[in-house]
Structure formats: C-alpha cells, structure tokens
Structure 1
Amino acid sequence: MSGRAKKPAAPRKKANGYKMPAPIANGEVIHDTIMKKKWRIGPSIGTGGFGEIYSACDHDSSPKGSNYPFVVKIEPHENGPLFVEKHFYVRNANKDDIANYMKSKKLSSLGMPTYFGNGSHDYKGEKYRYLVLERYGKDLWSLFKECGRSFPTTTVFQLGLQMLDVLEYIHSRGYVHADIKGANILLGLKKGTENQAYLVDFGLATRVNDKEFKPDPKCAHNGTIEYTSRDAHLGVSTMRGDLEILGYNMLQWIIGELPWEKVLTQPKKVQEMKESFLKNVRSNISKQDSQVPDALIKFFEYINSMKPKDTPDYNKCRSFFESYLKSEGKTRTSKLEFTPSKKKSKTKSNASLTEDAPIQNANGDAPKAKRGRKPAIVESSSDADENQEPESPKVVKRKVKRKSTEPSVVVKVKKTKMTPKATPPVKKNHVNTATQTSMEKPKNLKRSPRQVSFDSPVAAIIGDNKSLRTRKDISANSSGDIFEDSFEIQDKKIRPKKRLLSDEEVTVKRVVKKKVTTMKPKKTASTKSWKDLPTVVNGRSPPK
C-alpha cells in the first residue's frame, strides 16, 4: 500500500507579501555572465525586507574563517525591489564613476557602496536574482540601541556631513534615496574605513521628478514611516525630502525618540504631527529637548524655506554642521565615537559634615559600615594626627575646624558592649516565646501578632468535668480563645464540695448599678430543674 505523496512546502513570505528565497547551501557557486566571474556563497549574514543576504568571495579565493570580502543579495525572480536596486547600482555605483566624483570634490572618502556584479541563478528549480556588493560592518541602528538610544552630539553631526556627501552624489546622478535610516547606514569594514559610514539599500530609489509637483495617492506614505518626509507622505520623493529624512534621523540620534513614534500605525496622524512640528520647529524642539544644538534647528529651518523642486545648497548645510563641530573642537575627519556621553550627576554639597556624609578613617578610606552599629567618632583638628593608626577599628576621625591655638587632643570613645540581664527561666509546660532569652529564641522566628508576653498561663476555667470526660471528641483545649497558643490547659482533679440538699429559700444580693435585686427560685411539684440548684457564686457552681 503506497502512502500519499507530500505536498511541497509553500514558499516563505514576509509580512509585506514578498516571497522569501529558500536557504542556499554554503559553497554554492554562481556565474556572472556579464562580468565573467564566479562567486562562491558563504554563510548567511541577515535578511532584508524582500530577500536574504549571504557572505561571498571569489570562486578562486579561500577566505580565512568568516572574512568574506563581499555580500550577495538574493531574492526570488518574481520580487521587484532588488530589480530596482540592481539597475540603480549598474548606472550609478561604478567604481570609476565614484573615483572621478571624489577627485572633483576633493574628497578622501565617500559613503557610496561599490557594485561588483549581478545576474540570475537557478537553485533547486527556483530562479533567483542576485547582486554582488562590497561587505561592510555594523549598522548604525544596532549601535544606537547598544548605546542606550543616544549618540554623542559631535558624532551625529559627523555622520550628517558624510550623508550629505552621499546625497549630493546621488542627486547629481538624478536619483533620490527616499529611505535613509540607521539600519541602511553601515560602517566600513576594511582597514582605514572604520570611521566612514556607507549608505546602502536603494530599493526605494527613484528618479528625480522633473514634472510639476503633484501628490500621488498610490505612493503615499512610502518609506520607513517614522522618517518619511512630508513630500513622501503625499506620494512624491524629492531632494529636499531626503534632507528632511536625514534631519529626522539626526534628531532621533540626539534625543532618543521622535515625537510621533507612538502613533506609527496611523500614517495620516504621523503626517499631521510632522507638519505641525516643522511649522514652528525651533520652539517645538526646545520644548522636547533644550540640549539640541542650534545648528540642527537651522538645518530644519532651511529645509522649510525650500520649494519642492529646489536643488539643495549642500555647502550651506555643511556650514551648519561644521560650525558646530568647530565649536566642540572636532572636525569631519575626527574618529567616530559611539559611547554616549555621561551626564553630570547632581552631587551633594560637602560644605558641612552630616551624619549621612561618609567619614574617612586614618588611611583616608571610608570605614565599612556595620549593620545596627554606628561608628564612634574621633574629633581632631591637626593634620599631624591624621597618619596615626587607631587602636581599635571602631575608632574613626572627623575633621573639625578649631578656633583655639591650644594643641589638639585626641579623644577616643569606645562603645562597650553591655551584657544582657538574665531572664528568669521559663516555667514548665509554658511555650510563651516572649519571655525567652535571646539565646533560647530561634533565629528565624517571626513574631506572630497572637503571641503575648504573659509570665504565667491564664488559669483554666473548668466547668462540668464529668461531661467533658464522657465526650471523647472534645479535647481539654477545645476553647476558641485567641491566646490558646500561649499557654496549656491541663485537666486537674478537684475534690467536690458537699452537695446542698436543703429546700430552703436562698436570697442572693448582687450589686448592679447600685441596685439590689432579689432572686427566688420557683417551686414546682414536678422534677427539679436547673433553677432548683444552688445559686452560682463567684462564677462557679458546685459539682453534682
């Protein structure tokens, strides 16, 4: 009997609907027919929004360990983002074009990634599109979270200058990036490029719109929502929009959080908050964080003065950032530091010594505090006695200004340990813990609110002993007294008194509110009732 054949597993899909590629084995070789090169795929180093990223090397080389010098971005052929990015790199990321631009601008480095190859590859019956790029280091978003969501302000402006250089190059080629964010900015990995940031991921890169500025609802809110520019919220990507996106990133790196991050699921609400924020950017930024440098506020104000189709004045924007760095003693080529600056903590004034202030011993060290004990104090006014070793570790010193010219006198005060007074022995069969000595008490005993400090148990009130003996289900200690755990009730034989058999009337006088009442038992011809018994006196009745 043959079983049913298993259906092939459905391809993985991201939340955005893009199909994810199946895992590709290490050592798989891909052929670049255009560049006439072979690439060998290494371990996966991450996934993007539409595909997977693998480390890679030349087929003929053998990298040591995990030091692969390239990356290969792979996506199923039916996806679209890598197709857009591939064509952007082919047109704008040529190694010679980048070198010529850097020479014309007199730049020693530029954060524009270099393109090395692309093509199609078949793997287990599936067709994939791939792109080969240089490998870079850590991304800024990971560093931002590791640094407690804060970068040093000088580092933020250094990164801003580097991104302005990249944006100027991209815009000069007729493109806008439209998705600038920390996750798409990587640090250099090669020696000498550790302080250079590279802008990657051109999946949303579009041509600069030469036509009339007109909102496009189909493309509204494109990009990463927290950084999307006001123009992109309307569906149009612009060069001034790229500057605005960069400004939002810089603001977040300084203050830690953008004002609209709590409503990111509502794009229209985010759009309204951004428009309101930039209408009066100076006052709004000052309300949120007064530590934001004026250079960033001027950058936003310049963006507000631009028209949708204006080409940015990059030199003017650089002047804002460079002037701030100069005031802080930094330059654009300074080392990038990602450790957040420590904020000055408020310190208490040491003008006068108090009991809470630390007291130094003779060696200048603070004495170790002992639980439940306060160190004795030695008053001294001369520095000659500071180096003397105290006879007891309990003796410490405190400096006090002296007005007298007489020689100082060191007074040593020792706190003697008092011997506790002996407590009388506990009575037999008495479990009251309140009268025990400290040596007899268990160390981990927690005092119950029901414990009392009686030195002797409360006398038991014994009623009808005969009836108690006949009922085996009732113990001698069956009382619901709240102090039942502080004493024991013992059965005690009591010799009964002589029974009164007289039928004479008995008159008992009891004082109740200064009145005398007379009680007479009734006589009946029937059997005797409890009223015919002798009167209860002093809370006890004679036994039968």
Structure 2
Amino acid sequence: MAGRVKKVAPKKKGAGYKMPAPIPTGEVIKDTLFKKEWRIGPSIGVGGFGEIYSACDHTIKTKGSDYPYAIKIEPHENGPLFVEINFYLRNANKDDIAKFMQSKKLTSLGMPTFFGKGSHECNGVTYRYLVMERFGKDVWSLFNESGKSFQPATVFQLGLQMLDVLEYIHSRGYVHADLKGANMLLGLKKTAKNQVYLVDFGLATRLKEDQPFSPDPKNAHNGTIEYTSRDAHLGEPTMRGDLEILGYNMLHWLTGELPWEKAIKQPKTVQTMKETFMKSVRSSIKSQFPNVPDALIKFFEYINSMKPKEVPDYKKCRKLFEDFLKNEGKTKNSTLDFASNKSKSPKKRVNKIVVEDVVDGSDKESDEPVKVKQNGDVPKKRGRKPKVNPDLDTENKVPETEKEIKKKAKRKSSEPAVLVKVKKTRLNPVVTPPARTNHNNISTQTSLEKTRHSSRLNASRHVSFDSPISEIVGEKSKDSVSINSSGDIFDDSFTIKEVKVKPKRKLLSTEEVIVKRVVRKKVAPAVKKGRSWKDSATIVNGRSPPK
C-alpha cells in the first residue's frame, strides 16, 4: 500500500506572504488555457511573494542551458501574482502594444508580454504561475556595479523609455505604483539589448477616474519607501505619482543618494521629508545636489503644478529629456552606457630616473642640482634632495647588487620625482689600501724606505689617494680631448658603475632611481721610464710642474 504524500508547508515571508517551496528542476507544467507544456529550469530570482524560474517549451527540443522564458510562481494563498496576472490579461496583448507603438511612432516599447498562466500542483501544494519572456540584468544591479552613479545621458535615456511605458499603462487605465531599478530589466534578444522593460505589476492599481481624490489610510505608504510618491503615502496612487516616482529614481541614479535614505524605516518621517523637499524643489536640489541638470528640476516643478487627477503632458516631459540628450550629443536610441559617473583614480606610474652623482673630492658642499634623466629626457625644473645611503658612497667598497637594493623598504608615494638635488661632498676611503708590489705609496712607507728611494721618487710625480679630481671622467665622445686631463696618471683610473638606489627618505614617488658615480680604482700611478716632466704639458690639472 502506497504511503501518502506529505505536504510541504510554504514558508512565510515579509508582510504575511508565504514563500513557495523549491520546485524541482525538470518539473513539467501543463497550461490548460494556452494548451502548452512548460519545463522548469534553474531558479533565477526570488521576489517578495514568490520565486522566479527559467523555463522552456517542453515540446521543443532545446539545449540544456537554453531557457528563453521565465515563470513566476507563488502559493495560491498569496495575492500579488493574482493581481499581476489579471493586469497582463487585460493590458499585455501583443496587438494592443503594437497599435500603441504605431500611434506614437515608436520602434520599441518596454512593455513585456506574457505567454501563459494557470495553476499547478507539486508535492501536494497548489501554486499559481505566470509565464513571461525572460530578460537580462536589472538596472539596480547595474547601478550598484557602477558605484551607484550613472552617466547623466544614461539617466535621461532610461527616463524617456519609462515615460513611454507609463503612458501606455495610463492609457489602459492603470498606474504602476512601484517603479524602481529592480523592476527594470534589459532585453536579452539582439534587437532589444538597448531596451529596458518595466516588470512586476503586483501593485498595479486601476484608476478611479469617476471618483474624486480620496486618501485611504489602509493603503498608505504602499510601494518602495525610497521612491513612493506623496499621493501613495496618502494611500491613493495616481498618474502624477508615477511621474514623481520616476523623478526620485532619476535623482538617485544621478547623485547616488536620496535625502531621506536614513529614515526609510519610518514611513511618516519620509513622507514629511518629501513634502518639504517638493515645496521648494529647486532650492532643495541646488543646495544638496548642485550638479543635477536643470531638466530634472523642471520635471519636478511640472509635477508640482499638476492636479491629483490630471493626465500628464507626456510631450512636455519628453521634450525636457530630449533637449538635454541633444545637448549631450545623444538620443533615446543611443547605446546605453552604464559606466560610473565618478572619476577614476589615476593609476600608479613607475618611471625610471637616472641620477648622475659625482664625488669630486672637494671639502665644500654644493647646492647645484644634479641632472635627472626621466625616460631618456633631461628635465629643466628642480626637485627634492634624496637621502643617499652613505654605505654606497665609499671609494673602496663594492656597491650593493640590484636584488639587495630591491629588498629594502619601498616608497609609498606614487608621485614621480622630476629632479633630485644631491650634495657633492668628498668622502674619505674606509681604509687605506695596502701597498702592492713595486708600488711607491708614500703613506705606507717607513722613514727608512723613504730615504732609500728618495732619489728615484724625486724623479717622478707622486699622487696620494687624497689627490683632488680635476675632471669628471664620464660618458663623452671618443674624439674629445680635454686639456685638464693627465694621460700618465688618470687614464683608466676611474670606472662608471650604475647602481639602482632606493633612498630611505619617503619621496613622492615609487620610481626606481639609478645613480651613476665615479669610483676610484685601486691603482698605482705608473712610472714611465725614460720620460721626464719636461715632456708633459706646461700646466697639468691646474698645477705647474715641479721645478
């Protein structure tokens, strides 16, 4: 004997609505009205009163991930989907939508169509469902992804598209009452990727055209509190209220915030703030959001001039938006750009700077700026002085390798240093180098050795390690000859070594700095036999020859 199927009680959520239990993937729903079968796919979203699944025609073979339809499902005890189904039955007919588009000369309209509806029982629970065309991302998700700020042109493009949909809904005798980014979906078809569709008609209300405006406390504050119109706060949704809701959305998309955002848990407080805001809407916007275009302010001012039951002047509203787009070089049909309106922070650039630093052996400090090469160019402006590591400035010490320098602390600033000042100072050697074989070094000889070799030493010039450098031996042309250089003493006495240095001082840049220094070799002055000082120039290195 087969056991009974245990019913799964729907979960409650929000304002007493029951959330449906998950429908298994592959479940087939039979539509008795349109005589079709729909196969349930993966869930694509959850609303305030039901769940939305992807779906496909069960009679047509499709790929595993190809689900061109969406099915909204809710337990029979709930009511919003019942309201939405009835709205679709009356207003989402393809022929009616085509006639409206033809009369307004529109190439597209963000009014969705439906493909089926009915009831379905699963695991002992009865559900109500609605089959619609499947759409893409919603505007609210795109708004969050862009850093809560749209380009002004995009905002007015969305405003124009929503004006068209609202005019169609109002012409059918309904108001939407819950227009927001989460209820605006991009089309998935290639021909509709630039079109936004208004969905979720769970709060759609039929207009009471023959009755005067009468607030209803029972229905007060219906909708999404951030955007609810002043009329809806009183419990009576209107056509001018739909325009006001659209205006609040556009203001939010432009500025990223609304003045009453922090009080949304207190509907009456929000209502009072909106009343105050709209009484002097121009001054309110200019004081809080000075960059808001004047076209949106005029749109709010027009809403303020309307009577509760008045039919909106859609042409006037469109002209405000179209004129703004024209000044921006855009139209309603231009490609929607959902990039952020906020300026991006500049990326850090790392440029190589070459600093030519020469130890000239003088005792005085120089304030002259050192030449800096940035990407091969020599700048003319002056900059800050770097802090040079003294361990790298010794004559007889091997400089650190590039890997050792990179391990040191990194500079945090990303500002490139254009010019660097370095004090030119004479630095004594760490130790006096030992005398080599056949090397006549006066500083290391004893008094006996000095006497023994005095005759031979007097026959030639002696140079100690403290001798001043008269000329920088650096990069120069091969053909150039200097009158201040001594061939017998200074040739091959110095080498140019390039070392990447990262100073300890925190500069305004994270750039790599290459310092060029002249390092003295540990070589002895060669004594050339058979050559007298008379054979050399009369003046050498700024000194007269010995007499």
Range of TM-score over shorter length? 0.5 to 0.7
Which residue of structure 1 aligns with residue 298 of structure 2? Answer: 298
Which residue of structure 1 aligns with residue 402 of structure 2? Answer: none
Which residue of structure 2 aligns with residue 442 of structure 1? Answer: none
Deviation at 1:65, TM superposition (A): 3.5
Which residue of structure 2 aligns with residue 177 of structure 1? Answer: 176
Distance 1:124 1:337 in 2: 45
Which residue of structure 2 aligns with residue 208 of structure 1? Answer: 207
SS in 1 for 2:253: helix
Distance 2:288 2:257 in 1: 10
Which residue of structure 2 aligns with residue 254 of structure 1? Answer: 254
Distance 1:238 1:250 in 2: 19
Amino acid in the other structure paired with 1:148: G
SS in 2 for 1:13: strand
Which residue of structure 1 aligns with residue 432 of structure 2? Answer: none
Whether 2:387 is the aligned partner of 1:361: answer no
Contact 1:176 / 1:238 at 8 angstroms: preserved in 2? yes
- In the superposition, the TM-score normalised over structure 2's length comes to 0.65
Residues 339-374 of structure 1 show CA distances to partners (whole Å, capped at 9, x for unaligned) of 113538799xxxxxxx9xx9643524999x998659
Contact 1:377 / 1:395 at 8 angstroms: preserved in 2? no
Q: How does 1:231-246 map to 2 (within 5 A)?
A: 231-246=231-246
Residues 297-325 of structure 1 show CA distances to partners (whole Å, capped at 9, x for unaligned) of 00000000000000000000000100100
Which residue of structure 2 aligns with residue 43 of structure 1? Answer: 42
Distance 2:102 2:118 in 1: 30
The verdict on how the C-alpha distance between 1:362 and 1:43 changes in structure 2, with shifts beyond 3 A counting, is: closer
Q: How does 1:58-457 map to 2 (within 5 A)?
A: 58-210=57-209, 211-343=211-343, 360-361=373-374, 363-364=376-377, 393=498, 414=517
Distance 1:155 1:63 in 2: 36
Residues 497-518 of structure 1 show CA distances to partners (whole Å, capped at 9, x for unaligned) of xxxxxxxxxxxxxxxxxxxxxx
Distance 1:359 1:325 in 2: 49
Bigger Rg over Cα? 1
- In the superposition, the TM-score normalised over structure 1's length comes to 0.65
Distance 1:416 1:18 in 2: 84
The verdict on how the C-alpha distance between 1:76 and 1:10 changes in structure 2, with shifts beyond 3 A counting, is: closer
Contact 1:136 / 1:186 at 8 angstroms: preserved in 2? yes
Amino acid in the other structure paired with 1:218: K
Deviation at 1:17, TM superposition (A): 1.3
The verdict on how the C-alpha distance between 1:306 and 1:376 changes in structure 2, with shifts beyond 3 A counting, is: closer
SS in 1 for 2:165: helix
Amino acid in the other structure paired with 1:209: K
Contact 2:26 / 2:39 at 8 angstroms: preserved in 1? yes
Which shifted more, 96-105 or 244-253?
96-105
Distance 2:29 2:387 in 1: 71
Contact 1:119 / 1:131 at 8 angstroms: preserved in 2? yes
Deviation at 1:125, TM superposition (A): 1.0
Residues 240-277 of structure 1 show CA distances to partners (whole Å, capped at 9, x for unaligned) of 00000000000000000000000001100000000000
Which residue of structure 2 aligns with residue 476 of structure 1? Answer: none
Unaligned runs of 5+ in 1: 348-354, 379-385, 397-411, 418-544
Deviation at 1:22, TM superposition (A): 1.1
Unaligned runs of 5+ in 2: 348-367, 390-416, 423-474, 478-494, 502-514, 521-547
Distance 1:189 1:114 in 2: 14
Distance 2:327 2:112 in 1: 31
Higher relative contact order (CA 8 A, sep 6+): 2
Deviation at 1:11, TM superposition (A): 2.7
Contact 2:8 / 2:123 at 8 angstroms: preserved in 1? no
Distance 1:197 1:62 in 2: 29
Distance 1:23 1:395 in 2: 64
The verdict on how the C-alpha distance between 1:339 and 1:65 changes in structure 2, with shifts beyond 3 A counting, is: farther
SS in 1 for 2:54: strand
Contact 1:209 / 1:238 at 8 angstroms: preserved in 2? no
Deviation at 1:414, TM superposition (A): 3.7
Superposed CA RMSD in Å reads 3.3
Distance 1:84 1:361 in 2: 70
Residues 190-210 of structure 1 show CA distances to partners (whole Å, capped at 9, x for unaligned) of 112111000000000001122
The verdict on how the C-alpha distance between 1:122 and 1:345 changes in structure 2, with shifts beyond 3 A counting, is: closer
Q: How does 1:489-504 map to 2 (within 5 A)?
A: none
Deviation at 1:64, TM superposition (A): 2.3
Amino acid in the other structure paired with 2:263: V
Amino acid in the other structure paired with 1:223: G
Which residue of structure 1 aligns with residue 413 of structure 2? Answer: none
Amino acid in the other structure paired with 1:105: K
Amino acid in the other structure paired with 2:238: T
SS in 2 for 1:278: helix
Distance 1:28 1:395 in 2: 69
Residues 477-533 of structure 1 show CA distances to partners (whole Å, capped at 9, x for unaligned) of xxxxxxxxxxxxxxxxxxxxxxxxxxxxxxxxxxxxxxxxxxxxxxxxxxxxxxxxx
Distance 2:239 2:17 in 1: 28
Amino acid in the other structure paired with 1:55: S
The verdict on how the C-alpha distance between 1:122 and 1:307 changes in structure 2, with shifts beyond 3 A counting, is: same
Which residue of structure 1 aligns with residue 470 of structure 2? Answer: none
Residues 88-134 of structure 1 show CA distances to partners (whole Å, capped at 9, x for unaligned) of 00000011111111111110000000111100111111111000000
Deviation at 1:415, TM superposition (A): 8.1
Contact 1:377 / 1:413 at 8 angstroms: preserved in 2? no
The verdict on how the C-alpha distance between 1:362 and 1:75 changes in structure 2, with shifts beyond 3 A counting, is: closer
Which shifted more, 177-186 or 26-35?
26-35
Contact 1:376 / 1:415 at 8 angstroms: preserved in 2? no
Contact 1:177 / 1:206 at 8 angstroms: preserved in 2? yes
SS in 2 for 1:192: helix
Distance 1:121 1:7 in 2: 17
Aligned residues: 382
Deviation at 1:13, TM superposition (A): 1.1
Distance 1:313 1:290 in 2: 27
The verdict on how the C-alpha distance between 1:365 and 1:138 changes in structure 2, with shifts beyond 3 A counting, is: farther
Which residue of structure 1 aligns with residue 412 of structure 2? Answer: none
SS in 2 for 1:19: strand
Distance 1:395 1:130 in 2: 71
Distance 1:414 1:258 in 2: 61
Distance 2:373 2:151 in 1: 37
SS in 2 for 1:54: strand
Distance 1:308 1:286 in 2: 26
Contact 1:88 / 1:202 at 8 angstroms: preserved in 2? yes
The verdict on how the C-alpha distance between 1:217 and 1:192 changes in structure 2, with shifts beyond 3 A counting, is: same
Distance 1:359 1:209 in 2: 79
SS in 2 for 1:258: coil
Deviation at 1:165, TM superposition (A): 0.1
Contact 2:7 / 2:125 at 8 angstroms: preserved in 1? no
Residues 268-302 of structure 1 show CA distances to partners (whole Å, capped at 9, x for unaligned) of 00000000001111111111111100000000000
Deviation at 1:16, TM superposition (A): 1.9
SS in 2 for 1:245: helix
The verdict on how the C-alpha distance between 1:345 and 1:365 changes in structure 2, with shifts beyond 3 A counting, is: farther
The verdict on how the C-alpha distance between 1:362 and 1:213 changes in structure 2, with shifts beyond 3 A counting, is: closer
Amino acid in the other structure paired with 2:343: K
Contact 1:376 / 1:413 at 8 angstroms: preserved in 2? no
Amino acid in the other structure paired with 2:305: S
